[in-house]
Amino acid sequence: MAETEQQPGSTPEDEAPTVTFMVPKKEISMVPDMGKWKRSQVVEKLLDLLGTLDQWIDETPPVDQPSRFGNKAFRTWYGKLDQEAENLVSAVLPADKSAAAPEIAVYLKESVGNSTRIDYGTGHEAAFAAFLCCLCKVGALRVDDQLAIVFKVFNRYLSVMRKLQRTYRMEPAGSQGVWGLDDFQFLPFIWGSSQFIDHPTLEPRHFIDERVVNEHYQDYMFLECIKFINEMKTGPFAEHSNQLWNISAVPSWSKVNQGLIRMYKAECLEKFPVIQHFKFGSLLSIQPVKP
């Protein structure tokens, strides 16, 4: 029986994809090459960037002033960032993407709080998420970096923001008081709750137990948020953090996570007082995505 003639441009179903094999070779020849093995060098550079912001806090102590909140030294600290933001971002970007630095630097400056009001809130936190998103869009951060983006970079960002809040007594921006999830943050509760899904022993009811928090906060983003709240606020937890108290009664972490995502969309992404301050450019455009 004659073979069936293959149509031009068609590919036989059983045709194996072409694979180019190579002889394995050493790639880690110097200590700096370890970045290829451990995590991307961009992640390391971002940690260095955040370390610089942390150092500037130490170099800019609070000033004596009549008002207890909103220390004006924050404006001095912010002035350093305003001047150096583009240089800091340029040091993170690959050389062929350096032209994106001015656009991406805007999100970095927006992510640390407002220098006029000396406040910080979920809109500023969203700006840092946008900053990381831009780095992904230009190819500086890769899919392989996704865990490090949250649990290394964003976690380090949180520590710097908490230091800012403590040092300069920043006001919560748009706080809903006891009816809000938290005065300053939201995203770490989403990512932190996802970290707990299918955990064999720790359930939502445990995060209001101060002993559990103190024992495990270094390993879990959600518990680190609770610890910071416990340090900053006084009185019964159910009174100063009523929303979180109610969440502790949810039976599973997956339900907590799903509920927080819906809440973030409703309370942050769809609220005019938050989104009116968000800035759009070529990387994060306000124009609808073409189908």
Q: Which pLDDT value is given to residue 246?
A: 95
Burial environment of residue 97 by CB neighbours within 10 A (0 to 12, 13 to 18, 19 or more): middle
Residue 169 sits in the same domain as residue 192? no
Residue 161 sits in the same domain as residue 45? yes
Q: State pLDDT tens for residues 114-149.
A: 999 999 999 999 999 999 999 999 999 998 899 899
Residue 196 sits in the same domain as residue 139? no
Q: Which pLDDT value is given to residue 24?
A: 78
DSSP state letters, 96-147? GGGGGHHHHHHHHHHTT-BTTTTEE-HHHHHHHHHHHHHHHHTTSS-GGGHH
What does the block give as tokens for 278?
Answer: 């968000």
**2 part of a folded domain:** no
Number of domains in the chain: 2
Q: Which pLDDT value is given to residue 2?
A: 46
Among the candidates 117, 138, 173, a domain finishes at 173
Among the candidates 115, 144, 173, a domain finishes at 173
Q: What is the pTM of this model?
A: 0.84
Strand 171-172 relative to strand 119-120: parallel, antiparallel, unpaired?
Answer: parallel
Residue 200 sits in the same domain as residue 236? yes
**20 part of a folded domain:** no
Residue 126 sits in the same domain as residue 186? no
Q: Which pLDDT value is given to residue 180?
A: 74
**71 part of a folded domain:** yes
What does the block give as tokens for 76?
Answer: 């001095």
Q: Which pLDDT value is given to residue 1?
A: 46
Q: Which pLDDT value is given to residue 174?
A: 73
Name the residue range of residue 124's domain: 38-173
Residue 128 sits in the same domain as residue 239? no
What does the block give as tokens for 286?
Answer: 């306000």
User: What three-state secondary structure class fits 171?
Assistant: strand
Low-confidence ranges of the chain (pLDDT < 70): 1-19, 26-39, 175-179
Q: Which pLDDT value is given to residue 26?
A: 67
What does the block give as tokens for 108?
Answer: 């970095």
**25 part of a folded domain:** no
Residue appearing with tokens 């409703």:
266
**8 part of a folded domain:** no
Task: Calculate the average pLDDT of the chain.
Answer: 89
Q: Which pLDDT value is given to residue 32?
A: 59
Q: Which pLDDT value is given to residue 20?
A: 74
Residue 186 sits in the same domain as residue 169? no
- Give CA angle at 198 (196, 200), nearest 5°: 95
Residue 60 sits in the same domain as residue 165? yes
Residue 124 sits in the same domain as residue 45? yes
**How far does the chain reach from its first CA to its final CA, in angstroms?**
48
User: What three-state secondary structure class fits 172?
Assistant: strand
Among the candidates 149, 173, 197, a domain finishes at 173
CATH of the domain at 246: 1.20.120.1150
Beta carbons of 158 and 48 less than 8 angstroms apart = no
Q: State pLDDT tens for residues 209-218.
A: 999 999 999 9
Q: Which pLDDT value is given to residue 9?
A: 52
